[in-house]
């Protein structure tokens, strides 16, 4: 079946530290991959996406590369800010599907000044 | 504000009662999704509509749950004979097409069943 596994949180970093949040997936076919973010008090919003192998999604200084050989889509940022504190969700949409997204459990990030 | 809106934001009910949640999607979006999220978990898919047609339902959507989108605009999610295990955040999302995979989420409706 289709599933997403992401590293457990919470993750606490100091401002300007390097961030990695690991995400691996299991899927049949060729899924599309996403990172969504939920800031405190707000709804989930798309952060970045990649639709095929070796694609790199990027937004707001965050990056993730679709690695088919390792079935991974790790989220990285070179220098985090306090405003990046949020819950991050990795998600996939199964290949050929026009329907739902399958989400990981989420990783809470706290960035201290 | 032209985002996805959900109502009520929080509902407290007694076990066995019926509850209904409403979702108003972004106006030009023809797809509408319902998800459920419990504490410490990611959103779990329940169902989605394209216009007024319900195209997919998760096995999580038991016969006590029903969703409608009668005119292809707003949607309702009704839970009959609520159980304590139904306590969760119910999220609505909408999208213009499926190709981008970008869903726009509302802030959710939190259900507490006593």
pLDDT of residue B102: 84
| pLDDT of B1 above 60 | no
Select the residue of A34, A41, A44 nearest B101 (Cβ to Cβ). Answer: A34
The tens digit of pLDDT for each residue in B32-69 reads 999 999 988 999 999 999 999 998 888 888 899 999 99
Distance CA A100, CA B54 (A): 12
Chain A residue numbers touching B5 (CB-CB < 8 A): none
Whether the Cβ atoms of residue B66 and residue B83 lie closer than 8 Å to each other: no
Residue B98, pLDDT score: 58
Supply the pLDDT for residue B59: 86
Question: What pLDDT digit, counting tens, does each position of B79-109 carry?
Answer: 999 999 999 999 999 998 756 678 999 999 9
- Check if the beta carbon of residue A52 is closer than 8 Å to that of residue A69: no
Which of A32, A51, A105 is the closest to B42 by Cβ?
A105
Q: How far apart are CA B92 and CA B79, in angstroms?
A: 15
Q: How far apart are CA B55 and CA B43, in angstroms?
A: 19
pLDDT at A1: 83
User: What's the token pair of residue A50?
Assistant: 């990649």
Low-confidence ranges of chain A (pLDDT < 70): 98-99
Chain A: give the shortest CA distance to residue B17, in Å.
27
Q: Let me know the angle formed at the C-alpha of B107 by B110 and B92, rounded to the nearest 5 degrees.
A: 85
Please report the pLDDT score of residue A96 as a whole number.
Answer: 73
State the pLDDT at residue B60.
83
Q: What is the pLDDT of residue B99?
A: 63
Burial category of B22 from C-beta neighbours within 10 Å (exposed 0-12, middle 13-18, buried 19 and up): middle
Token pair, residue B86, equals 């139904």
């Amino acid at each position: 079946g289709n599933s997403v596994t992401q590293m457990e949180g919470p993750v606490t970093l100091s401002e300007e530290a390097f961030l990695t949040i690991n995400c691996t997936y299991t899927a049949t076919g060729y899924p599309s991959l996403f990172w969504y973010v939920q800031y405190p008090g707000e709804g989930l919003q798309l952060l970045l996406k990649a639709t095929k192998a070796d694609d790199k999604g990027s937004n707001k200084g965050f990056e993730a590369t679709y690695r088919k050989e390792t079935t991974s889509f790790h989220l990285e940022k070179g220098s985090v800010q306090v405003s990046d504190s949020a819950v991050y969700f990795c998600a996939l949409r199964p290949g050929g599907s026009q329907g739902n997204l399958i989400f990981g459990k989420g990783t809470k990030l706290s960035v201290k000044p | 504000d032209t985002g996805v809106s959900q109502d009520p934001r929080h509902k407290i009910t007694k076990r066995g009662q019926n509850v209904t949640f409403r979702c108003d999607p972004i106006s030009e979006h023809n797809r509408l999704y319902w998800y459920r999220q419990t504490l410490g978990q990611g959103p779990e898919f329940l169902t989605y509509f394209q216009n007024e047609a319900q195209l997919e339902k998760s096995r999580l959507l038991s016969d006590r749950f029903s969703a409608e989108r009668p005119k292809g605009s707003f949607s309702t999610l009704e839970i009959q004979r609520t159980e304590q295990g139904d306590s969760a955040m119910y999220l609505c999302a909408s999208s213009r097409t499926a190709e981008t995979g970008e869903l726009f989420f509302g802030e959710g409706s939190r259900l507490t069943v006593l």
